[in-house]
Amino acid sequence: MIDDSIRQHPSDAFIEAVRARFPTEREVDTVLTRKMRRRNGPSFQAVGLETLVDGTERLITNQVGYPVRIADARWLSGGASKLQMLFNLQWRGENANGQAQVVTPMVLRMEPAASVTESSRRREFEVIRAVAGTVPVPHAYWMDPDAQFLPYPAMIYGFAAGTAKPSHDAGKVTGLGQNYGPELRAKLAPQFIEYLARIHNLPIGAPPVLASFDRPEVGSNASVIRQVNAARRIWEEDRIEDEPVMAVVYKWLIRNAPPIDHISIVHADYRSGNFLFDEARGEITAWLDWEGAVLGDRHQDLTYAALPIFQHYAEDGETILVSGMMPEAELYAAYEKASGLPVDPVRIRYFGVFNRYLVSVLLLAASTRAARGAATHQDVLLNHVAGMGYLALSDLLGNLRSATA
Amino acid sequence: MNQDFETQLQVVQRALGEVVLPALGSADKHVIEQLHLSLAAIGFMQQRVPLARQYYRGTLERYLAMAGAVAALLDADAESLADQSKQSKAVLDDPAASDADLRAATATLRAGVAALVEAAKDTPQESALDALVLEYSEAILSEDRSWCIPLGFELRPEDLPKPDWQP
C-alpha cells in the first residue's frame, strides 16, 4: 500500500509533522509519540512470566523499601490490549508493621509493543486512585510508567473478584453484544446507571490529583477539539489506507465541537464487559479499563455505552438494549434522575458521532496496524476485532447523516 | 498442480479444530481463545480467497465512479485525481494486473478523494463534495461489510444487499 512504510517505520520528520498538525493533551502526546518511536526499535518479543516476576519484584521492592516475594504467578486472560499477570505478593502489607507477613493477590498490567488503545499507565493509575471510594475499583498500588523495571510501562493493582461475563454467555468476546439475561439485567442496570452518575458528579481535585490530565474549561470547546485531534492523530499514524468518509467526519467534529458545560471524569470505555460482577448476588464488584479516561463531557460516556456494537435485542426480539441494560432513551432518563445532570440532545448527537469516529479509528487503524506489525501478544484477537471496522464505519456514516439531517 | 489454497486451508482447519483443540482441554483460557480465533481467520480465508479478485475489481470500479463524480464536481481543482483515475482505470482494464495492483490503485483513489475533501474545507463546493462522498461510500461500505460476514459480527447479515462478487 502506498503510505504504509512511512507509518510502519516513521521518520522523525513524519512524527513531528503529525504532532504539530493535531495538537492534543500533553500526556496523550507523550504516549502517542512513544508509540511511533517504538516502531523503529526492536520488534515485539513474547515476554515470559519469569521476566515479569523479576521486574515486578524489583519494582515493588523499590517502592516499599524492603525485599518482597512473588508466588503463584500466572497469566490472566481477558482484554484485548494489555498483558496481565496474576500473582500473590508476600509482603508486610500496605501499612507495613514490623516483620508481619501478608499475602495479597495482585495483578500486573503491562503494555505490549503496540495496542488497540495506546494509553498512559500514569493516567490510568491516577484516575483509579481518584475514583476509589466513589465506585468499586481495584486498588491501584504502584506503577512503572516509564518501564524502569519492566519491559514496557506497567501498573500493579489489587485483584478484584468477579466475572465479566455471565456463565450462560461466556463464549463472547467480552462486552460485544453481551446478554446478561433478564434476571441479572434487572439487578445490574440500576448499578450501571448509579455508578456512572457518581463518576460524573465527582469533584475534580486540583493537581497533584489527576496531574497527567489537562484541565478543560467550562464554556470552552478546546478540550473536545483536543480529543478529536487525538483520534485524528491515531488515524494519521496507524491507518492502512485512507478513507474519504473519515475526512468528512473529522471536519464536522471540529466544526461542531460543543463547549463543556460541566467537567466530569469520563471513563471513555463505560459499557457492558468492562465491569466485574458477582453473578450470584448480581452486584458489580469492580469497574475496569480506565486507561482511556479523560476530563470532559458526560455525554461521551452516555453515547459510548449506547454504541451498536454493545447492543443486543431483548427477549421480545424487538427492543434494543444498550450495553445489555435498557433501551437508550431509558438509559438517558434514568441517568438524569440519578445524577441530577441534564442530558442535552445536541451533545448526545455530537458525542454519538464522536464515539463512532473513535471506534472506527481504533478498529480500522490501530487494531489493524498492531496486528500487521506483529506488535502484541494478541495479534489474532486484534485482527479479528478489526473485522468490525466496516460495520463501525457504516454506522458512523448513518449516524452522521442522522445528526446533520 | 494439485496443491491449491482451498485444500491447504481446509487441512489446517481440520487439524487444528479436530485434533489440536480437543487436546487442549485444560489449557489456559487465552490459549484456547487464540486457537478459536485462528480457526475463524482460516475460515474467513476459505470463504474469501476464491472471491478475492472479483471483490478487489468491484471495489476499484466503485472508487473510480466516486472519483469520476468528484472530478466532475471540482473540475480544475481535481486534476490530480483525474490523472489518478486514468491510471487506475488502466489497471482495471489490464488482464495482467495483479490483486496487489488493484488494491494499490484503489488506495490511491481513496487517498486522492480524502485529500480533496480535506482541501475543500470552507470552499463553496465543500458541502456538495461531502454529500457526494457519503452517497458513494454507502454502497462501498455495504460491500465491505458483506466481505467481512464470515467473521460473525453482523447481527442480521441476510439484510445486507447481495454483493456483485457473490456467486
Cell numbers for B100, please give them: 496487489
Taking the whole predicted model, whether its pTM rises above 0.90 is answered as yes
d(CA A61, CA A69): 9
Question: Cβ contacts of residue B6 below 8 Å, gap of 6+?
Answer: B46, B49, B50
Contact residues, chain A, for B108 at CB < 8 Å: 2
Residue intervals of chain A classified under CATH 3.30.200.20 are 49-158
Would the pLDDT of A175 be above 80? no
Contact residues, chain B, for A248 at CB < 8 Å: 117, 130, 133-134
Contact residues, chain A, for B66 at CB < 8 Å: 244
- The answer to whether B40 contacts chain A (CB < 8 Å) is yes
Contact residues, chain A, for B121 at CB < 8 Å: 251
DSSP states along chain B = ----HHHHHHHHHHIIIIIIGGGGTTS-HHHHHHHHHHHHHHHHHHHHGGGHHHHHHHHHHHHHHHHHHHHHHHGGGGHHHHHHHHHHHHHHH-TT--HHHHHHHHHHHHHHHHHHHHHTTTSTTHHHHHHHHHHHHHHHHHHHHHHTGGGS--S-GGGSPPPTT--
d(CA A263, CA A149): 35
Would the pLDDT of A104 be above 90? yes
| Chain A residues whose C-beta sits inside 8 Å of any chain B C-beta | 1-3, 74-75, 77-78, 176-177, 241-248, 250-251, 309, 313, 378, 380-381, 383-384, 387-388, 390-391, 393-394, 397, 400-401
Instruction: State in words which class domain A49-158 has.
Output: alpha beta
Give the residue carrying C-alpha cell 434487572.
A186
Pairwise CB contact (< 8 Å): B110 & A244: yes
Confidence band (pLDDT; 50, 70, 90) for A330?
A: very high
Closest chain B residue to the Cα of A173, Cα to Cα: B33
Calculate how close chain A gets to B137, using CA atoms only, in Å. Answer: 7
3-state secondary structure of A213: coil
What is the reported pLDDT for A118?
A: 84
Span A321-331, average pLDDT:
97
What fold characterizes domain A163-404? Aminoglycoside 3'-phosphotransferase; Chain: A, domain 2 (3.90.1200)
What is the reported pLDDT for A1?
A: 41
Range with the poorest average pLDDT among A75-89, A136-150, A228-242: A75-89
The pLDDT averaged over each successive group of 10 residues in chain B (167 residues) is: 89 93 85 91 95 97 97 90 96 97 97 96 96 97 96 90 90
Indicate the average pLDDT of chain A.
Answer: 92
Would the pLDDT of A174 be above 60? no
- The answer to whether B42 contacts chain A (CB < 8 Å) is no
Calculate how close chain A gets to B2, using CA atoms only, in Å. Answer: 29
Confidence band (pLDDT; 50, 70, 90) for A173?
A: low
What is the reported pLDDT for A67?
A: 93
Contact residues, chain A, for B157 at CB < 8 Å: none
Residue intervals of chain A classified under CATH 3.90.1200.10 are 163-404
pLDDT in tens, A58-68: 999 999 999 99
Pairwise CB contact (< 8 Å): B133 & A384: no
Based on its alpha-carbon atoms, the radius of gyration of chain B, rounded to whole angstroms, reads: 21
Per domain, the residue ranges of chain B are: 52-147
- The answer to whether B121 contacts chain A (CB < 8 Å) is yes
Contact residues, chain A, for B148 at CB < 8 Å: 387-388, 390-391
- The phi and psi torsions of B60 (rounded to 5 degrees) equal -60, -40
Contact of A110 with A151, CB cutoff 8 Å: yes
Pairwise CB contact (< 8 Å): B114 & A247: yes
Q: How many CB pairs below 8 A link A and B?
A: 102
Span A220-238, average pLDDT:
98
| Percent above pLDDT 70 for chain A | 95
- The answer to whether B128 contacts chain A (CB < 8 Å) is no
Cell numbers for A194, please give them: 448509579
Confidence band (pLDDT; 50, 70, 90) for A2?
A: very low
Question: CA B19 → CA B13, B29, B47, distances in Å?
Answer: 10, 18, 22
| Percent above pLDDT 90 for chain A | 78
Cell numbers for B65, please give them: 465512479
The answer, yes or no, to whether ipTM is higher than 0.90 is yes
What is the reported pLDDT for B3?
A: 87
What is the reported pLDDT for A377?
A: 80
Q: Which of A110, A120, A77, A80 is nearest to A387 (CA)?
A: A80
Residue B133: which of A244, A390, A393 has the nearest Cβ? A244
Range with the poorest average pLDDT among A382-386, A395-399, B53-57: A382-386
Closest chain A residue to the Cα of B118, Cα to Cα: A247
DSSP states along B42-82 = HHHHHHHGGGHHHHHHHHHHHHHHHHHHHHHHHGGGGHHHH
What is the reported pLDDT for B125?
A: 96
Would the pLDDT of A169 be above 90? no
Residue B107: which of A1, A378, A400 has the nearest Cβ? A1
Would the pLDDT of A95 be above 80? no
pLDDT in tens, A339-383: 999 999 999 999 999 999 999 999 999 999 988 888 788 889 889
For helices A26-38 and A12-21, what crossing angle results, to 10°? 160
What is the reported pLDDT for A178?
A: 87
3-state secondary structure of A317: coil
d(CA A350, CA A344): 10
What is the reported pLDDT for A19?
A: 98
Beta-strand pair A69-75/A102-110: unpaired
Contact residues, chain B, for A247 at CB < 8 Å: 114-115, 117-118, 133
Would the pLDDT of A161 be above 50? yes
Would the pLDDT of A115 be above 60? yes
Contact residues, chain B, for A251 at CB < 8 Å: 117-118, 121, 126, 130
Residue A390: which of B30, B103, B144 has the nearest Cβ? B144
Closest chain A residue to the Cα of B41, Cα to Cα: A384
3-state secondary structure of A391: helix
